[in-house]
């Protein structure tokens, strides 16, 4: 009988494939999310170090987009790799269903420390979409257990983005999120995004008209406050155009939520954990949400992990659930031990290396130079951002795509969403690397203008 406890001899290494061979396998077998079929500009990345990534043809690029906003510590960070290896050798994971594991416990405690009271209880998920979906279920179950089962309506911004599950796509008014996917779930309402519609269209006007927090109050009253469960909001809209909320907006909606018994859910999936030069973007406004969702930078991309952190008052209500006496939600890999170990290492690096302060300082350089050099150039409608999260809005989607391609030819990777080009380098980016990104963008804008 074979002794299964003995590790078999390692298999011979597979022969290395050429860039063309990998590209052909990719084309034939891999379905890419949110990517046009046969995209000729697609990169196939095989390795990374620091802020640089290398493709299957051996070409190296400065990653000005941090993968998908998530590689906040860059690639191959030794302390994160060591934490993953150590945890893998001890225990890859142990489910949180009726049990627990050490890294998940320690990470939940660390998030409570960073967010501060009363945000002290965390449910772990696998992605930002799952975190948003969990938050929807949590706010509805919470109100039901509080004797208000009619409070089911979730309000969000029309240009907001909270994920791609059935529930989270219903929180966006963008057709690209839900068209062709069958009827959207009910119970979701959008309000006007706090941006000037005339500025967004490029039309000449004076003065700007920006919808404020009062749009939320109007929606709550229109739905009936007794029917509204929560308001979901990103401090900086990501997919919706890299748009920071106006100063005071979060404070205004916090007051409105308190007035009508509505829970405030702040989506920090993109903005959390240093990206804006603060641990969490909502802390810049001095408000305390009822629920905060995080993902992306939580593990710096070294493992899939997301978190839904709520107040003690919300979490404790689930003990009264007559069906379970606890929260009826979760996944097999909720609180995966290796993911949590990676996150703990990431948070230690951010603290010990002073990356919050670094991101604020280098981010000021990034946003300042982008504004000084790009604003006013042909086709550039706006430049905006906070910390290491910046957006350049062009007058068309093709123009943004052309500049992305020009930057790539110059050895810098950025991304675009519609007419907005995103810049979000890792938190470890240097001033020299920021200058290189800005130089590539400036050259790309000038070159595509001439074309």
Question: What domains can you pick out in the chain, each with its CATH number?
Answer: 19-76+354-450 (3.90.1150.10), 81-352 (3.40.640.10)
Q: Is 248 left (phi over 0), alpha (psi -120 to 50) or beta?
A: left
How confident is the model over 342-384, as pLDDT tens digits?
999 999 999 999 999 999 999 999 999 999 999 999 999 999 9
To which H or E segment does residue 391 belong?
A: strand 390-394
Would the CA dihedral through 324, 327, 332, 333 be positive or negative? negative
Please give the order of strands across the beta sheet that includes 228-233. 119-125, 306-311, 291-294, 263-267, 228-233, 153-157, 188-191
Structure tokens, 190: 């959008």
Q: In this predicted structure, what is the pLDDT of residue 181? A: 86
Query: So what's the pLDDT on residue 176?
Result: 82
Q: Cα(105)–Cα(101) distance, rounded to whole angstroms?
A: 7
**Distances 436 to 52, 63, 359, 371 between C-alpha atoms, Å:** 12, 11, 17, 15
Q: Are 242 and 422 in contact (CB under 8 A)?
A: yes
Q: What is the pLDDT of residue 239?
A: 93
Q: Which residues of the chain have pLDDT under 70?
A: 1-15, 197-207, 450-451
The whole model's pTM is what?
0.94
* Residue 7: burial class (beta carbons within 10 Å; 0-12, 13-18, 19+): exposed
Classify 26 as helix, strand or coil.
Answer: helix
- pLDDT score for 4: 52
């Amino acid at each position: 009988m074979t002794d299964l406890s003995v590790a078999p001899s390692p298999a011979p290494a597979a022969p290395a494939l050429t860039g063309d061979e990998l590209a052909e396998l990719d084309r034939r077998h891999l379905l890419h999310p949110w990517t046009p079929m046969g995209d000729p500009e697609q990169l196939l990345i095989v390795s990374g170090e620091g802020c640089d990534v290398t493709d299957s043809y051996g070409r190296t690029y400065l990653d000005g987009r941090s993968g998908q906003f998530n590689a906040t510590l860059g690639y191959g960070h030794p302390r994160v790799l060591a934490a993953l290896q150590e945890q893998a050798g001890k225990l890859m994971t142990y489910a949180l269903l009726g049990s627990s594991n050490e890294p998940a416990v320690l990470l939940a405690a660390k998030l409570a420390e960073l967010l501060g009271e009363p945000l002290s209880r965390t449910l772990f998920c696998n992605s930002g979409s799952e975190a948003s979906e969990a938050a929807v279920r949590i706010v509805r179950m919470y109100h039901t257990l509080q004797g208000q089962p009619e409070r089911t309506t979730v309000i969000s911004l029309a240009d907001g983005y909270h994920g791609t599950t059935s529930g989270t796509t219903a929180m966006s008014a963008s057709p690209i999120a839900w068209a062709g996917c069958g009827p959207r779930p009910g119970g979701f309402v959008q309000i006007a995004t706090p941006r000037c519609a005339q500025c967004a269209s490029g039309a000449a006007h004076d003065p700007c008209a920006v919808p404020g927090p009062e749009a939320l109050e109007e929606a709550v009253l229109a739905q009936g406050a007794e029917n509204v469960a929560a308001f979901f909001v990103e401090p900086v809209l990501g997919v919706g155009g890299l748009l920071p909320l106006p100063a005071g907006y979060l404070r205004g909606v916090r007051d409105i939520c308190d007035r009508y018994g509505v829970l405030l859910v702040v989506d920090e999936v993109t903005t959390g954990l240093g990206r804006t030069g603060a641990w969490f973007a909502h802390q810049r406004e001095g408000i305390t949400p009822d629920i905060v969702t995080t993902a992306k930078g939580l593990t710096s991309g070294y493992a899939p992990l997301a978190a839904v952190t709520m107040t003690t008052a919300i979490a404790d209500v689930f003990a009264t659930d007559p069906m379970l006496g606890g929260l009826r939600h979760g996944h097999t890999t909720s609180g995966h031990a290796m993911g949590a170990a990676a996150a703990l290492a990431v948070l230690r690096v951010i603290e010990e290396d002073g990356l919050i302060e670094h991101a604020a300082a280098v981010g000021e350089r990034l946003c300042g130079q982008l504004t000084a050099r790009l604003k006013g150039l042909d086709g550039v409608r706006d430049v905006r951002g906070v910390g290491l999260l910046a957006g350049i809005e062009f007058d068309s989607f093709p123009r943004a795509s052309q500049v992305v391609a020009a930057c790539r030819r110059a050895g810098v990777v950025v991304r675009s969403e519609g007419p907005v080009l995103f810049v979000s380098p890792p938190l470890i980016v240097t001033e020299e690397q920021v200058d290189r990104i800005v130089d590539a963008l400036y050259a790309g804008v000038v070159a595509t203008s001439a074309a």
